[in-house]
Chain A
């Protein structure tokens, strides 16, 4: 209960204390964890305080003061620490938004590895435990703990600053933050193995971070675009998984199971992003998701516009996977033979030699063109390359359907 209710307070309190403790992540985390531990023993006995966040902040602050006195340094900072929690009983305490923003930029500093950035953000900003993050990323708690310790040590020894970047570096650094949030979301969204519920949790943490980034950088069009993209994808979550745990593709999803409120929020975010002049890769992806979201039935999808948006995305973020999606959209918009021509080009380039989705896409297009034998052999090639079980089941089912025809 305590954890659920005060996870967001955790990030805010840590953010404040890191600043006051001179950028010492480890020390800030320790005192905040101590404060939560005190709450666990005191609240059941004495009742939940009227201002739980203020109570936690006050206890954490006192522990930080003790700590600083013990280390007999920076007496002057004690004053600053007092100022961070103005009233004696901690009532009405608010973290400075700047502190959360500092924490976000420090966790997502490009001098840290992407894995470490993700882990730090989930740990410090979302208050997930080391065990929870380890489970979500399918690594051992020991590995993850080591990753966090190394990252915190680098922050300290290389002196990664606890600041909001200078205006001239802000755009570049914001891009890095968004990429980290995108990684967290993709990890949760693309997962078709592992305990599914935890992965959904990861999407929700990414959404939480995106909301935080959005409130901290309200004038950034790309932040709004990324949040729109996440909301629109996440609104389809309930329809993406079949009762047997298998993956349900977009054209076969029961659209009544989409989360309408979340979709509308995503569409509104996209509107806001476009009004701010957003034209980046996240915007284009969000626009594609929006077109899917607005089609009442799969056959109502505006494939011509989606194909045009993918053509734009190929320019913005060139890559074989985007090119494959472009080919699929072109096939829907103009006919399978046009899509097949693009897939053939892609195959000839040799860039996706070991990627199962290339023969899978080929197989689907050949099937629709009535070239059954070629389709069967393409499905078999895809099956030889596929790695996750749900995708394997999906391809096997398609192959069975085709052979039964």
Chain B
């Protein structure tokens, strides 16, 4: 089953990191990503540009509305994600807890909806 692991962090706090700290975090992400690639859990994963680069689009009454910024202002922002294959929620939680940002931010674990043939 697929799970999307969404990495939420406080962008402002991340901006204050020193160059050495940024390098350390990048190194940790590299190690983690390699580990889940080797174990076969990794499907994809990306880091996102900060919300300052975000644009929100809506269509209302057939008209396109484009606005600056994310859809909702929150204390922590979506900063990246991993899409993983896991046996069940416990395995997905185990992977999520090894993401370096779990120690500073939070990881939302969301199952990807599976479409199956209707029963009965």
List A residues at the B interface (Cβ < 8 Å): 70-71, 73, 109, 111, 157-161, 163, 165-166, 169
15 additional A-B residue pairs with CB within 8 Å, beyond A111-B89, A111-B93: A70-B120, A71-B119, A71-B120, A157-B113, A159-B1, A159-B89, A159-B111, A160-B89, A160-B90, A161-B88, A161-B90, A163-B90, A165-B90, A166-B90, A169-B94
Q: Please state if A169 and B113 are interface contacts (CB–CB under 8 Å).
A: no
**With A and B bound together, what is the CA distance between A166 and B87 in angstroms?**
13
Instruction: Name the residue in B94, B111, B113 with the highest tally of chain A Cβ atoms < 10 Å from its Cβ.
Output: B111
A-chain residues with CB within 8 Å of residue B87 when the two chains form the complex? 161
Contact among A161, A166, A169 with B89 in the assembled complex (CB-CB below 8 Å)? A161
**With A and B bound together, what is the CA distance between A73 and B120 in angstroms?**
10
- Shortest CB distance B95–A (Å): 13
**With A and B bound together, what is the CA distance between A158 and B119 in angstroms?**
19
Q: Please state if A158 and B111 are interface contacts (CB–CB under 8 Å).
A: yes
**With A and B bound together, what is the CA distance between A158 and B92 in angstroms?**
10
Contact among A71, A73, A160, A169 with B88 in the assembled complex (CB-CB below 8 Å)? A160
Q: Mark B77-111, 1 if CB is under 8 A from A, else 0.
A: 00000000001111001100000000000000101
Instruction: Name the residue in B1, B87, B89, B109 with the highest tally of chain A Cβ atoms < 10 Å from its Cβ.
Output: B89
**With A and B bound together, what is the CA distance between A111 and B3 in angstroms?**
14
Q: Which residues 1-36 of B sit at the A interface, judged by CB distance below 8 A?
A: 1
Q: Which residue of B lies closest to A23 (CB)?
A: B88
- Shortest CB distance A187–B (Å): 27
B-chain residues with CB within 8 Å of residue A159 when the two chains form the complex? 1, 88-89, 111
- Shortest CB distance B39–A (Å): 15
B-chain residues with CB within 8 Å of residue A71 when the two chains form the complex? 119-120
Q: Which residue of A lies closest to B116 (CB)?
A: A73
- Shortest CB distance B21–A (Å): 29
Q: If the complex has contacts A157-B113, A159-B1, A159-B111, are A73 and B89 also in contact, measured as CB distance less than 8 A?
A: no
B-chain residues with CB within 8 Å of residue A109 when the two chains form the complex? 89
A-chain residues with CB within 8 Å of residue B120 when the two chains form the complex? 70-71
Q: Which residue of B lies closest to A110 (CB)?
A: B93
Q: Which residue of B lies closest to A168 (CB)?
A: B94
Q: Which residue of A lies closest to B110 (CB)?
A: A158
Q: 23 A-B contacts, Cβ less than 8 Å apart? A: A70-B120, A71-B120, A109-B89, A111-B93, A157-B111, A157-B113, A158-B89, A158-B109, A159-B1, A159-B88, A159-B89, A159-B111, A160-B88, A160-B89, A160-B90, A161-B87, A161-B88, A161-B89, A161-B90, A163-B90, A165-B90, A166-B90, A169-B90
A-chain residues with CB within 8 Å of residue B111 when the two chains form the complex? 157-159
A-chain residues with CB within 8 Å of residue B89 when the two chains form the complex? 109, 111, 158-161
B-chain residues with CB within 8 Å of residue A161 when the two chains form the complex? 87-90
B-chain residues with CB within 8 Å of residue A165 when the two chains form the complex? 90
A-chain residues with CB within 8 Å of residue B113 when the two chains form the complex? 157
Instruction: Name the residue in A71, A159, A160, A163 with the highest tally of chain B Cβ atoms < 10 Å from its Cβ.
Output: A159
- Shortest CB distance B12–A (Å): 29
**With A and B bound together, what is the CA distance between A248 and B120 in angstroms?**
57
- Shortest CB distance B84–A (Å): 13
**With A and B bound together, what is the CA distance between A31 and B109 in angstroms?**
32
- Shortest CB distance A97–B (Å): 21
**With A and B bound together, what is the CA distance between A165 and B94 in angstroms?**
12
Q: Which residues 51-77 of B sit at the A interface, judged by CB distance below 8 A?
A: none
Q: Which residue of A lies closest to B118 (CB)?
A: A71
B-chain residues with CB within 8 Å of residue A163 when the two chains form the complex? 88, 90
A-chain residues with CB within 8 Å of residue B109 when the two chains form the complex? 158
**With A and B bound together, what is the CA distance between A169 and B88 in angstroms?**
15
**With A and B bound together, what is the CA distance between A161 and B93 in angstroms?**
12
B-chain residues with CB within 8 Å of residue A70 when the two chains form the complex? 120
**With A and B bound together, what is the CA distance between A159 and B113 in angstroms?**
11
- Shortest CB distance A173–B (Å): 9
**With A and B bound together, what is the CA distance between A166 and B88 in angstroms?**
13
B-chain residues with CB within 8 Å of residue A169 when the two chains form the complex? 90, 94
- Shortest CB distance B89–A (Å): 5
B-chain residues with CB within 8 Å of residue A160 when the two chains form the complex? 88-90
**With A and B bound together, what is the CA distance between A71 and B111 in angstroms?**
24
**With A and B bound together, what is the CA distance between A73 and B88 in angstroms?**
21
- Shortest CB distance B88–A (Å): 4
B-chain residues with CB within 8 Å of residue A158 when the two chains form the complex? 89, 109, 111
**With A and B bound together, what is the CA distance between A160 and B120 in angstroms?**
23
**With A and B bound together, what is the CA distance between A147 and B95 in angstroms?**
28
**With A and B bound together, what is the CA distance between A169 and B94 in angstroms?**
10
**With A and B bound together, what is the CA distance between A70 and B119 in angstroms?**
9
